[in-house]
A and B are shown apart, each in its own frame.
Chain A
Amino acid sequence: EPEVTQTPSHQVTQMGQEVILRCVPISNHLYFYWYRQILGQKVEFLVSFYNNEISEKSEIFDDQFSVERPDGSNFTLKIRSTKLEDSAMYFCASSQAARNTDTQYFGPGTRLTVL
């Protein structure tokens, strides 16, 4: 069964450094998402992406964050200058369409630790 993959599974970085989290969505999906889960808190929406553009972003997704689909398969989340509070599990998801009823398929997540 097709699945969403994410690399790396765990990333440790120093505060102020740039990180890029990578995702390979399911191949025939058109809509892509990033969510994050700070330890002990809810899974929170960060951003949705369609047709090479951000379609929606949350308040969390400030100028330090960016997303890109650099080629036909990868979808990346970049954090320009990491802060301690960026430490979280980051989940990528994809869906075929973006109706309310469409299933989003999630990857296993990247655990980001900022020291």
Chain B
Amino acid sequence: AQSVTQLGSHVSVSEGALVLLRCNYSSSVPPYLFWYVQYPNQGLQLLLKYTSAATLVKGINGFEAEFKKSETSFHLTKPSAHMSDAAEYFCAVSDGVSGGYNKLIFGAGTRLAVHP
């Protein structure tokens, strides 16, 4: 069965610093991976997704993630943090056969704090 592990439930960075949020996956089949962000009092919004087309995936708001099969990782990065990036970030893997009915398996989430 697929699963994802997010290392670090809380990450704190200074404004302008690099953001690195870690996600490792476990999957018996080629994984399809997603990063979602949740701002306070809002729903989950897709940041980016890996669909095997390219290992480096660019998303919204300057975020990107690199799929590394050898490390079973899909870490999320942003070169320069902004105060508005403060939110909770979820890594997820798609658990469904192609053409079947999909469901997402989520990690525990990482709360990102950005301080001046």
B109 partner residues in chain A, CB cutoff 8 A: 42-43
- Does B106 interact with chain A (Cβ within 8 Å)? yes
- B-to-A contact residues, CB < 8 Å: 32, 34, 36, 41-46, 49, 51, 90, 92, 94, 96-109
For window 39-83 of chain A, which residues contact chain B by CB distance below 8 Å? Answer: 41-45, 48, 50, 55-56, 58
Secondary structure dominating the interface of B = loop
Contact: B43 with A101, CB < 8 Å? no
Q: What are 17 sample pairs from A and B whose C-beta atoms fall under 8 A apart?
A: A4-B43, A6-B43, A31-B102, A42-B107, A42-B108, A42-B109, A43-B104, A44-B106, A45-B104, A55-B101, A56-B101, A58-B103, A91-B44, A98-B101, A99-B96, A100-B97, A106-B45
A residues near B (Cβ < 8 Å) are 4, 6, 31, 33, 35, 41-45, 48, 50, 55-56, 58, 91, 93, 95, 98-109
For residue A109, which residues in chain B have a CB less than 8 angstroms away from its CB? 43
Q: How far is the CB of A45 from chain B (nearest CB, A)?
A: 4
